Amino acid sequence: MKRILDGLPYPVVAGRDAAQLVAELAGPLRHRTIVVSDRLVERRGKLVADAVRAAGCDVLGVVNIAAGERRKHLKTVTDLHTAFLHAGADRHTLVIAVGGGTLTDTVGFAAATLLRGIPWLAVATTIVGMVDAAIGGKTGIDRPEGKNLVGAFWPPVGVVADLDAVTTLPLRERRTGMAEVVKAAIVGDAELLERIALFDVKGDPQVWEPLVARAAAVKIGVVARDPLERGERKTLNLGHTFAHALEQASRYRMPHGAAVALGLRAAGILARDRTGWPHADHRRMLHALRRCGLHVHVRGLAPEAVMGAMRTDKKRVNGILRFVLPAKLGDVRYGCEVPAAAVHSALKELGTAVASGGW
Ligand SMILES: NC(=O)c1ccc[n+]([C@@H]2O[C@H](COP(=O)([O-])OP(=O)(O)OC[C@H]3O[C@@H](n4cnc5c(N)ncnc54)[C@H](O)[C@@H]3O)[C@@H](O)[C@H]2O)c1
Ligand SMILES: [Zn+2]
């Protein structure tokens, strides 16, 4: 089973036999390859290495690393550069990254910066990775000052969504992944929201396939029209100015998707008086998030700490914070300037449960 998702200059495929799909993409290139996998999916990395070797590629090395947001930093990139050089990498060596979004962001950036850029291929093993992180060529790492502050646009030569990887994904990762699916639905596929509300996150890979394909299609469409984020691609940052600040303020204890769920509600609250975001759309969004088991309010939140973290966000222009705000389902605006007082009160509102009929 394989599903080809068209629209980008490189192939994006989703399927259950990811190792075979990678071999089909890498084999004809006859590259020398290095496989880097997240330790938690080491076995999947090995399957990929075996399959590309069988397809005629020379595998220079298989590297397993600890992934996660706390490892998405420069030291990991430097260690990868060392491993690649010691394995004999040159400008034609293909790096195959097998893991979630933190792994593909980091390995993609290591590939972007070694020898002024060597080719890489992403194999996504989390929902966030399959519908979002592995697609679109944004690579990067975090800095103590904030998330994703160092990076490069460096598109992969291909993307494989490893659907069978879902089988080992803990419930928490399945749920947090759904936040990006909800975001995709708001940005470009309103009908997907209804499906999300009926979706069983405990389901097996077959159940995930159509959902992953639809959410990934939204991302592919946006990235195809605006690969370098000059305009429309900014809409994919919906909820993310809040999310990145919440993650940073929690010292990365809060998973990305959990922060995105909260960020989506906060963006909706800000949009209420600014874009005419309808209450009905807001409630559909909250309903979908909650049906996936995501929290839409957070206890013990210190708005000042979150606002402090926002000051280093990349999306500021000349020191003014701009937000991506929904106007209605399928219509998301970027560059909306919001006064600090309104951001502060939205954060306070995020500390309270949604009252019936409330926001
Ligand atoms: N580049 C982009 O365009 C883009 C887009 C969205 C998100 N991101 C980034 O993606 C990151 C979040 O990605 P994520 O949610 O995949 O996080 P992650 O990579 O940290 O993966 C989540 C956890 O699941 C584990 N894991 C991965 N695959 C597994 C599997 N199949 N079975 C069991 N465990 C598995 C990981 O080790 C980790 O502990 C953030 O850093 C975010 O900034 C990037
Ligand atoms: Zn995200």
Looking at the structure, tell me whether residues 184 and 251 fall in a common domain. yes
| CA 198 remoteness from chain centre | 23
Assign residue 325 the CATH number of its domain.
1.20.1090.10
- Say yes or no: 73 and 180 in one domain: no
Q: How remote is the CA of residue 237 from the centroid of ligand 2, in Å?
A: 7
Do the Cβ atoms of 251 and 259 come closer than 8 Å?
Answer: no
Same domain, 153 and 49: yes
Residue with tokens 């069988």: 54
Distance CA 207, CA 357 (A): 32
Q: Distance between CA atoms of 58 and 30, rounded to whole angstroms?
A: 8
- Cα distances from 229 to residues 137, 186, 246, in angstroms, run 11, 18, 23
pTM listed for this prediction: 0.95
Residue 261 placed within a domain: yes
Q: Tell me, what's the pLDDT at 155?
A: 98
Looking at the structure, do residues 127 and 265 belong to the same domain, yes or no?
Answer: no
Check if 232 is active-site.
no
Q: Reduce the DSSP state of residue 279 to 3 states and report it.
A: helix
Ligand 1 binding pocket includes 184 (Cβ within 6 Å)? no
Task: Examine the domain organization and report whether 13 and 143 are in the same domain.
Answer: yes
Per the structure, the complete domain to which residue 259 belongs is given by: 173-199+234-350
- Judge if 186 and 242 occupy the same domain: yes
Is 92 known to be catalytic?
Answer: no
Which DSSP symbol is given to 233? Answer: G
Among 133, 128, 165, smallest CA distance to 43 is for: 165
The Cα–Cα gap between 130 and 12 comes to 10
Query: Residue of the nearest CA to atom 38 in ligand 1?
Result: 68
Same domain, 136 and 187: no
The CATH number of residue 100's host domain is 3.40.50.1970
Could you tell me if residue 223 is inside a domain?
Answer: no
Count Cβ neighbours within 10 Å for each residue of 56-93 and write b for 16 or more, e otherwise.
ebebbbbbbbebbbebbeeebbeebbebbeebebeeeb
* Same domain membership, residue 151 and residue 6: yes
Give me the phi and psi of 319, to 5 degrees please.
Answer: 80, -5
Number of domain units in the chain: 2
In a shared domain, residues 122 and 148: yes
Ligand nearest, relative to CA of residue 42: 1
Structure tokens belonging to residue 28: 């004809």
Residue nearest to atom 6 of ligand 1 (CA): 133
Q: Do 178 and 105 lie in a common domain?
A: no
What is the model's pLDDT at position 356?
Answer: 83
Whole-angstrom distance, CA of residue 1 vs CA of residue 124 = 16
**Catalytic pick from 174, 233, 272, 282?**
233
Rounded to the nearest angstrom, the distance between the alpha carbon of 345 and the centre of ligand 1 is 30
Mutate to test the pocket of ligand 1, among 36, 98, 102, 178 (most ligand atoms within 8 A of CB): 102
Per-residue pLDDT of the chain (359 residues; tens, 9 = 90+): 799 999 999 999 999 999 999 999 998 988 899 999 999 999 999 999 999 999 999 999 999 999 999 999 999 999 999 999 999 999 999 999 999 999 999 999 999 999 999 999 999 999 999 999 999 999 999 999 888 999 999 999 999 999 999 999 999 999 999 999 999 999 999 999 999 999 999 999 999 999 999 999 999 999 999 999 999 999 999 999 999 999 999 999 999 999 999 999 999 999 999 999 999 999 999 999 999 999 999 998 899 999 988 876 555 655 568 999 999 999 999 999 998 899 999 999 999 999 888 99
In a domain, 204, yes or no: no
Same-domain pairing of 59 and 79: yes
Which pLDDT score, from 0 to 100, does residue 31 have? Answer: 85
User: Considering the domain boundaries, does residue 217 fall inside one?
Assistant: no
Residues 31 and 123 in one domain: yes
Q: What are phi and psi of 4, to 5 degrees?
A: -95, 130
What's the confidence (pLDDT) of residue 319? 55
Whether 298 is in a domain gets the answer yes
